[in-house]
Amino acid sequence: MRAAIYESYGTPEVLEIKNVELPSIKDDDRVLIRVHNASVNAFDYLHRKGYLPTRLQNGLTKPKTLLLGLDVSGTVEAVGKNVHKFKVGDHVFGSCLGSHAEYVCPRQSLLSLMPKNTTFAEAAAVPCAAQTALQALRDVAQIKQGQSVLIYGASGGVGHFAVQLARYFGADVTAVCSTSNLQWVKDLGAHYVIDYTKENFADNGKKYDVILDAVGKRTFFSCLRSLTEKGVYITEHLLYPKYHPIQLMISPLISKKKAKVHLAKPTDRDLDFLRGLMEEEIIKPVIEKCYPLDQIVEAHRHVESGRTKGKIVLETN
């Protein structure tokens, strides 16, 4: 099968399309999927670049795992004997390492049936980003109806799902993004929008129960005065980890305000929940561009620019 692989760390040009061995169902709970679409996440370019925290897991001098990709949508080609949720021919979506390829073989616990009203491309845009937003708001922040929530980086992959989910949970939503994205982010459900190129939200005197930094560009300390007395700041740990140990250690010492670091834990339960919201048209992915697998280098450049409108998706079949 064809797959995008990288055999050394570096710029997007280290990525190559090569023929590799087709995955097989070695475990009884795995599902063989013919991949239609996969998305590109920060996870992918950070691993490709050889960002230090990823090297500690994936090899200090060269990558141990050559295939990237976290999100997948496609058609079930075969199932293990203990697979009970899916059958051959089902359209599924979910989480799977190595999805930038024509076939993958994930565990059934990381998959869900595709929403009936979405395309393969839309389904592939959901798993990592939407689960990150969902778990950050519901589990980490324990969001409550009527709370004030600010989403920083609201036009990105995680951010645009966070806006929709915060609105669904009944929060008062403020979205921070650039000028060109203000209107469509507001259309997603944000009550208020702030153009970060013209205004620093930390200077406006307003307080928020939850601040979700969806792009890792802020710190707990820069958001401290914008949090309510028991407010919580949440970010992802992959992006700027040098700040996070300090934030976690100091935050309980200086106030009741909390700093939390969150990375999504894929589950079929959350995928099923998100599928329901999509079928009810409560949330919808925004896809800026869909690249063919042969243009994986361009797709990585796009995501790494940090200026993605929603999600970037690959078409593999």
Report pLDDT for 69.
95
Where does the chain hold its CATH 3.40.50.720 domain(s)? 129-261
* Cα distance between the two ends of the chain: 11
Calculate mean pLDDT across residues 114-126. Answer: 97
Report pLDDT for 275.
98
- State the average pLDDT for the chain: 91
CA atoms of 185 and 191, how far apart (whole Å): 10
pTM assigned to the model: 0.92
- Rounded to the nearest 10°, the torsion over CA 124, 211, 302, 304 is -110
Calculate mean pLDDT across residues 299-316. Answer: 93
Percent of the chain surpassing pLDDT 90: 77
Identify the band that residue 257 occupies on the pLDDT scale cut at 50, 70 and 90. Answer: confident
Report pLDDT for 51.
84
Question: pLDDT tens across 128-177, in order?
Answer: 999 999 999 999 999 999 999 999 999 999 999 999 999 999 999 999 99
**Residue linked to tokens 């097989």:** 24
Where does the chain hold its CATH 3.90.180.10 domain(s)? 2-126+285-315
Percent of the chain surpassing pLDDT 70: 94
Report pLDDT for 309.
93
Confirm if 159 and 134 have CB atoms less than 8 A apart: no
Report pLDDT for 237.
55
Residue 243 reports pLDDT greater than 60:
no
Calculate mean pLDDT across residues 47-65. Answer: 88
Domain 2-126+285-315 in this protein, CATH class: alpha beta
Domain 129-261 has CATH 3.20.20.80: no
Calculate mean pLDDT across residues 4-31. Answer: 93
CA atoms of 307 and 155, how far apart (whole Å): 9
- Give the least confident one: 102-111, 147-156, 216-225: 216-225
Q: Work out whether the CA dihedral 83, 85, 89, 95 comes out positive or negative.
A: negative
Identify the band that residue 249 occupies on the pLDDT scale cut at 50, 70 and 90. Answer: low
Report pLDDT for 216.
79
Calculate mean pLDDT across residues 1-24. Answer: 95
For 53, phi and psi rounded to 5 degrees? -60, -30
- CA angle (278 as vertex; 302, 264 as ends), nearest 5: 55
Residue 253 reports pLDDT greater than 80:
no
Calculate mean pLDDT across residues 188-195. Answer: 96
CA atoms of 113 and 133, how far apart (whole Å): 20
Maximum mean pLDDT: which of 47-61, 189-203, 234-248: 189-203
Q: Work out whether the CA dihedral 220, 223, 225, 226 comes out positive or negative.
A: negative
Residue 247 reports pLDDT greater than 80:
no
